[in-house]
Amino acid sequence: MSTWKVLPLGKATISLDWKRVPVKASERVAGPYPYYGASGIVDHVDGFLFDELSLLVSEDGENLRSRKTPIAFLANGKYWVNNHAHVLRAATGHDIRFIHYAMQVTDISGYLTGSTQPKLTAGSLAEIPLNAPALEEQQHIADLLSAMDGLIAQNRALIDHMRTLATELVGLATRDTSLGSLSRPYTGKQIRPLGPTEHYSLLAFDNEATPDLVDGESIKSGKLPLSEPMVLVSRLNPKTARSWMVYPGPGAVCSTEFVPLLGDEASVEEIWAATARDDFWDQMRSRVTGTTGSHQRVDREDALSIAVPDVRTLAAHVREEVVRLVRGIQQLREEIESTVRARDELLPHLVAGTIEIETVA
CATH topology of domain 173-313: Adenine-n6-DNA-methyltransferase TaqI; Chain A, domain 2 (3.90.220)
Tens-place pLDDT, residues 220-268: 899 999 999 999 999 999 999 999 999 999 999 999 999 999 999 999 9
Is the predicted pLDDT of residue 281 greater than 80, yes or no? yes
Closest CA to 336 of 201, 160, 138: 160
Domain spanning 5-132: CATH superfamily: DNA methylase specificity domains (3.90.220.20)
Q: What is the pTM of this model?
A: 0.88
Q: What are the boundaries of each domain within the chain?
A: 5-132, 135-170+315-361, 173-313
CATH topology of domain 135-170+315-361: Helix Hairpins (1.10.287)
Asked whether the beta carbons of 254 and 271 are under 8 A apart, the reply is no
So what's the pLDDT on residue 312? 98
Lowest mean per-residue pLDDT among 62-76, 143-157, 202-216, 313-327: 202-216
Tens-place pLDDT, residues 333-360: 999 999 999 999 999 999 999 998 888 8
5-132 and 173-313 have identical folds: yes
Tens-place pLDDT, residues 195-220: 999 999 999 999 888 999 999 889 88
At 157, the pLDDT band (50, 70, 90 cuts) reads very high
So what's the pLDDT on residue 171? 98
